[in-house]
């Protein structure tokens, strides 16, 4: 895909990884709409990025990805402003292992499915759309276990199953759709202190299991651009190494018949 001139939505776009992906898209001259539930941080991000990239190229909408009507209204607002959505990045996620498990499911897995379905309905060519790409942000926990965050990992496994199932659809060429998934390890973010509090085991387990260190969100964002620009990447799950972002492992979607 030629990213220049395309219209993208990034949920959780005011977070650390979200901002990195928004910047990466803006640097490729896309028009980017930041969706986030945090109004104050979202407004700050909008002001900063509009000053750098131009007021017409970036916007912010308050969006709770668990709210069907609110999510649809925000999505429809982007279509009304730009006429289309070409790229949907479902990135919003929370960790609350010791607290509200239902909300973890609703945000992480439900929000991803909800955002994907909005984009699919809008993009699919057989219903008048122009085609497009859906990128879901999962985790290394989307294909490997992590004993300290089992509920969180379950949502990320669900995202992997959802993404791979759509990517295996034999009618994608007719629909004009493509799917991909990012699977980062831990990265520096606004929720890292909460992760340590919510884990079923202590920080010492996190240190042991993630001895390679945290990823730089910029490296993860580079993976997003890599998938978008590779027209043959349907069904790729891209996992970046936490230290050397250039070392990536790709897992191609399996055929449904296997």
Ramachandran category for residue 235: left, alpha or beta (phi over 0 → left; psi -120 to 50 → alpha):
left
- Helix and strand tally (H, E) in the chain? 10, 8
Token pair belonging to 145: 């276990």
Backbone angles phi, psi at 178, to 5 degrees: -145, 150
End-to-end Cα, the chain, rounded Å: 29
DSSP, res 187:
B
Q: Name the residues annotated as catalytic.
A: 152
C-alpha separations of 113 from 1, 11, 65, 88 in Å:
23, 12, 10, 11
Strands 248-251 and 132-137: unpaired
Q: Tell me how many degrees the CA angle 74-75-79 measures, rounded to the nearest 5.
A: 115
Rg of the chain, C-alpha, whole Å: 17
Nearest to 162 by CA among 218, 79, 105, 219: 105
CB of 179 closer than 8 Å to CB of 235: yes
């Amino acid at each position: 895909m030629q990213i220049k001139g395309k219209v993208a939505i990034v949920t959780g776009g005011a977070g650390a990884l979200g901002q990195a992906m928004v910047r990466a898209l803006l640097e490729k001259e896309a028009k980017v709409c930041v969706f986030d539930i945090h109004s104050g941080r979202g407004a700050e991000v909008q002001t900063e990025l509009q000053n750098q990239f131009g007021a017409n190229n970036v916007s912010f909408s308050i969006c709770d990805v668990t709210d069907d009507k609110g999510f649809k209204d925000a999505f429809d607002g982007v279509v009304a402003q730009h006429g289309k959505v070409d790229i949907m990045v479902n990135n919003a996620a929370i960790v609350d292992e010791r607290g509200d498990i239902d909300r973890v499911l609703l945000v992480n897995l439900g929000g991803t499915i909800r955002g994907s379905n909005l984009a699919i309905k809008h993009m699919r060519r057989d219903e008048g759309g122009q085609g497009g790409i859906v990128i879901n942000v999962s985790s290394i926990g989307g294909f490997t276990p992590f004993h300290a965050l089992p509920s969180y990992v379950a949502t990320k496994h669900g995202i992997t199953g959802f993404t791979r199932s759509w990517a295996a659809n034999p009618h994608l060429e007719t629909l004009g759709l493509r799917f991909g998934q990012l699977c980062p390890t831990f990265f520096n973010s606004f929720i890292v202190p909460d992760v340590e509090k919510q884990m079923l085991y202590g920080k010492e387990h996190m240190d042991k299991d993630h001895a390679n260190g945290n990823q730089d969100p910029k490296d993860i964002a580079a993976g997003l651009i890599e998938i978008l620009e590779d027209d043959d990447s349907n069904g790729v799950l891209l996992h970046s190494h936490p230290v050397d972002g250039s070392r990536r492992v790709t897992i191609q979607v399996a055929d449904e018949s296997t």
